[in-house]
Amino acid sequence: MKTVLITGANSGFGYGLSKSLLERGWRVIAGVRNLEPRRHLFADLDRTYSHHLELLELDLEKPSDWDRPLKLMSERRIELDCLVNNAGFGVFGPLEDISETQLRKQFEVNFFGLFLLTQKLLPSLRKTKGRIINLSSTVGFTGLPLGGPYVASKFAVEGMSECLALDLKKFGVQVCLVQPGAFKTSFGANVAWAEKSNSDESVYRDEVKATQRFRSPNRKSPDPEIVIKTLVSLCEQRVVPLRKRVGKDASLAYWSRKLLPQAIYHWLLSWVFSQAQKKRTG
């Protein structure tokens, strides 16, 4: 039986992937921040797959939590075949309005927590010639208006992951970056905005308010099932690519960024956002 650790397993892609892999006979270690009040979310899965599902308190901001998977694996005498770094969140807003605390928290979770947890698990992954799947984003390869902190964290994940893939190649450990576009998950509802953006003193207040309405959780987005199916395939196929884009908007952004001159691409990006904002406020 193969074993996977999935961070941020309580919702969205993480929960869907946990369910799908359990159905396919995997042992799933589901890492969940603030587990106890969320344990009920796994009640049905636990009843059906109690011998294959391990729920684990795992907060990427807490170094003390990074050893929890190792302790569990030692107790169960299992090694890790796949690590899916799915947990993360987004801080949006202009640099002038973001607090140092917000900026550091963005990187503590999306970058430092992700890779320092991975570091702990590399010996086990080397033994199994396993794989690491890191959830990046469309904005892992392009800028975004008012997206600085989140975009920067994903650029950092992309760079470290590519280096990690080169370092681990001789051990047979594969690394894949998944770059989803916008899908219907709880991500939008959990977005944090720069502390000063809504104050009267902010020179970006109007743009931020328009973008907040544009990015509100009720925005129409595709169902996440296509991402979950892609992740299942990446967990199981023999060879994985370094990068895998998912969604029409991700492909459109990638090819536009690649083929258009930068000035035209940036103009087009700004225009698309302005039109979308007008449509939502009209």
- What residues act catalytically? 150
Specify the amino acid at residue 103: L
Residue with structure tokens 């503590």? Answer: 108
CA torsion 15-21-23-29 (nearest 10°) is: -70
Nearest CA to 15 out of 36, 45, 57, 50 is that of 45
Other Cβ atoms less than 10 A from the Cβ of 242: the count is 13
Give the C-alpha separation, 92 to 48, whole Å. Answer: 39
Strand blocks (E) in the chain? 3-7, 27-32, 53-57, 82-85, 91-92, 131-135, 174-180, 192-193, 243-246
Specify the amino acid at residue 48: T
Q: How many residues does the chain have?
A: 282
